[in-house]
Amino acid sequence: MEFSAKQIAEYIQGIIVGDENATVHTFAKIEEGMPGAISFLSNPKYTHYIYDTQATIVLVNKDFVPEQEVKATLIKVDNAYESLAKLLTLYEMSKPKKTGIDPLAYIAPTAKLGKDVYIAPFACVGDGAEIGDNTALHPHATVGSHAKVGNNCILYPHATIYHDCLVGNNCTLHAGCVIGADGFGFAPSPEGYEKIPQIGIAIIEDDVEIGANTCVDRATMGATIVHKGVKLDNLIQIAHNVEVGSHTVMASQVGIAGSTKVGEWCMFGGQVGLAGHIKIGDKVGIGAQAGVPGNVKSNEQILGTPAIDAKNFMKSSAVYKKLPEIYTTLNAMQKEIEELKKQLNK
């Protein structure tokens, strides 16, 4: 499919600088631009590429002022990155979607399937499970007994939803994602560790995307809940009875221990670790590799292990780099003081 600069500008409410009839049929990074491609510029570090790119159209922010001639047609928008996301979404939606049930899939007789579903070879839908309209299960995806998956969802290969768990509408579960595995509950005994049955469920609300090999454990009792609009990266662990507030995002390798409550609109960097039974407020930002042992109030930005105010951490880091010099100076001062004491005593 081809789109003209005029059509694109109308869709994203942009201003054209150049040929409104220029057409594109694919996307490309600005440094890898080619004729017939649309690219974007939002990071100032990549500005120099715009003067040499072969891309036909480039999205730029409205405040962009070229320092020399630009061959590409520009479309100026409020936010180039957001506008690109809109175009990519439109492009993805235009792709034809598979429907139908492959003969090699297993569908339990008591399962309920919505309209226009796609069930791929070796996918499995258990007893009493429900699959909503326009939902796709790719090869080896599994929906356990009495689990429910809403409309317009995608379960990529080997995504697994355990028995009785609930997934809302418009959710994407990437390859190897596991919803509802047992929480890590064991009671010590003289003979070893006795397993505590995990009889709760996991609930994933609408518009959630969960990355590859990420796990959301079922609750010991009640429910582990991932609220609406949450985005989880690959390789994240959400333990039993955790609650993640709506529109919170987490980068790879975050780990959250049991019964912790995370607020709305939070942002966690990679490898953040949260202790169990704590509460994180709304709109909290936690930097990469931070360790959080206790409660955090709303709107705080923290970093480090144990995590502290991000600005204080940066100041402390600057001092930490100078510790060897400070230590040497301190030893020298201590020796001078001892010499002075000896002289005074004499």
Active site residues: 240
Q: Angle 310-321/323-345 helices, nearest 10 degrees?
A: 60
Instruction: Reduce the DSSP state of residue 292 to 3 states and report it.
Output: strand
Backbone angles phi, psi at 188, to 5 degrees: -65, 140
* CA-based torsion, 295, 300, 304, 309: positive or negative: negative
| Rounded-to-integer distance, Cα 8 and Cα 23, Å | 9
Report the distance separating Cα 242 and Cα 239, nearest Å. Answer: 6
> In angstroms, rounded to a whole number, what is the distance separating the alpha carbons of residues 239 and 224?
8
Q: Which three-class secondary structure state does DSSP give residue 37?
A: strand
Query: How far is it, in rounded angstroms, from Cα 81 to Cα 59?
Result: 8
DSSP-assigned letter for residue 296: B
| Residue 24, strand partner residues | 3
Express the helix, strand and coil content of the chain in percent, nearest 5 each. 20, 30, 50
Amino acid at 159: A
Residues 6+ positions from 95 with CB-CB distance below 8 Å: none
Q: What is the CA radius of gyration of the chain?
A: 27
| Cβ atoms of residues 245 and 265 within 8 Å | yes
* Residue whose C-alpha is closest to residue 209's, from 153, 166, 270, 256: 153
